[in-house]
Structure 1
Amino acid sequence: MLVFSKAKLVVLSVPKTGTTAIEEALAPHAAMSVLDPPDLKHAPVYRYNRFFRPMIEKFLGEVEIVAVMREPISWLGSWFRYRQRPFLDGRPVSTKNMDFNAFVEGYLSDPQPAYADVGSQAHFLEARPNGTSVSRIFRYEAFDEFVDFLEARLEMQIDLSRRNVSPPAPLALSPALETRLRHTNAADFELWEGLH
């Protein structure tokens, strides 16, 4: 999460949406950069509202909150690939020796196994009853639009390097499983499809 005081802008860090590269490029220019631990770096709207908003609004007044969202199947695929990395071998969160269908089956299970317990983008971005919400959500698939917005808002050029890129892996889902996913996680698909 990054906070820019002059621009009155907060950038939330939805996991697996390219925000690590943004944070590395912009953290030196931010009034506040929350990069660690992951639960604070990736503070969803509900956590931002509870812990950060009171302090930020006290000193900056009203701010605009922005975030990036990824197409839901691609987002799950990024988690699946990330958790195949060797440093997770032998841990309950590892997806080594697993195919994407098995990962999504785990994601749709209740309870979810540790390797598939990755949350939901719709839940991450869900508005709070007090009105705290993300003002604008950018599509990961049109990341250049997000960068253009930040450059205009922050009045600076942004040079990004690719960071935190997961190894390639096949991400084909069976039609029946994709149908289940789209039904069970309808909020994620509706939110992404509604983005312009």
Structure 2
Amino acid sequence: MLVFVDANLVLFAVPKTGSTAYHLALKGMSEISFSGKAAYKHMSLRKYERHFAPYLKNAHGLTPERVAVMRHPVEQIRSWYKYRSRPTPRAEKGVLEGMSFDDFVAAVIAPQPPEFAKIGSQLTFLASEDGVVRVDHLFAYERPLRLRQFLTGRLGKDFETKQRNVSPAIDAPLSPAMEAKLREVRAEEFALYDRIVAAGGYLSNPAGQD
């Protein structure tokens, strides 16, 4: 997560949406930069509202506009699948050795996901305690130029990103039946993403509240 004081922005690091690339490209322009441990870097909106937003307001008089990126839900989960299928320094095989993408998706959307499938959802990450997505500026991962233009305009300086944390090239097909089940379980997340795409890759004030 990055906080830009003069631009009055906070950029959330939604997991598997290119957040590391933006962090490395923009941290030199930010006044506050959370990196390293995932709990800090990938601070959810509700945790931000509960703990960090009050600190920014009370200690520094800041109420930054909230910026975030959202990825197509299937592709975001597929990125998690590839990430957890990779070999690690401690093992030649990944956590998901031999597991199909269909089986991984089924585990992710299970009522009680196993540990390897506890990846949360983008909708939950971006929602307040009451379930409302209180982000001021929401961009589609697949339309990076929109975010770059927005941030360049607000920061007064252009920047370039480089690919980071690229997932391994693994064939990960999803059956129509499992995709239909995923869309049923996460209908609100798909609907929100579709709204961003329909708006040209950028949705202002998705909650529709002042």
- Name the TM tier (shorter chain): over 0.9
Q: Do the aligned residues in 2 keep the contact of 1:67 with 1:137 (CA within 8 Å)?
A: yes
1:194 maps to which residue?
195
Q: Which amino acid aligns with 1:69?
A: M
Q: Which amino acid aligns with 1:144?
A: L
2:22 maps to which residue?
22
1:81 maps to which residue?
82
Q: Structure 2 CA distance, aligned partners of 1:65 and 1:120?
A: 18
Q: Structure 1 CA distance, aligned partners of 2:75 and 2:81?
A: 10
2:49 maps to which residue?
49
Q: Which amino acid aligns with 2:152?
A: E
Q: Structure 2 CA distance, aligned partners of 1:46 and 1:194?
A: 22
Q: Shift of residue 132 of structure 1?
A: 8.4
Q: Which runs of 5+ in 1 are unaligned?
A: none
> Per-residue CA shift, 1:73-108, capped at 9, x if unaligned?
0000000001111117769x8122221111111112
Q: Structure 1 CA distance, aligned partners of 2:183 and 2:133?
A: 27
Q: Structure 2 CA distance, aligned partners of 1:88 and 1:48?
A: 32
Q: Do the aligned residues in 2 keep the contact of 1:8 with 1:60 (CA within 8 Å)?
A: no
Q: Which amino acid aligns with 1:66?
A: V
Q: Do the aligned residues in 2 keep the contact of 1:88 with 1:94 (CA within 8 Å)?
A: no
Identity of aligned residues (%): 36
Q: Structure 1 CA distance, aligned partners of 2:149 and 2:166?
A: 22
1:182 maps to which residue?
183
Q: TM-score, normalised by structure 1?
A: 0.93
1:112 maps to which residue?
113
RMSD: 1.9
Q: Structure 1 CA distance, aligned partners of 2:87 and 2:133?
A: 39
In the TM superposition, structure 1's runs of 4+ consecutive aligned residues that sit over 3 Å from their partners are: 88-91
Aligned residue pairs total: 194
Of stretches 65-74 and 174-183 in structure 1, the one that deviates more from structure 2 is: 174-183
Q: Shift of residue 34 of structure 1?
A: 0.6
Q: Which amino acid aligns with 2:28?
A: P
Q: Structure 1 CA distance, aligned partners of 2:107 and 2:56?
A: 38
SS at 1:141 equivalent: coil
Q: Shift of residue 24 of structure 1?
A: 0.5
Q: Structure 2 CA distance, aligned partners of 1:79 and 1:144?
A: 24
Q: Structure 1 CA distance, aligned partners of 2:42 and 2:128?
A: 16
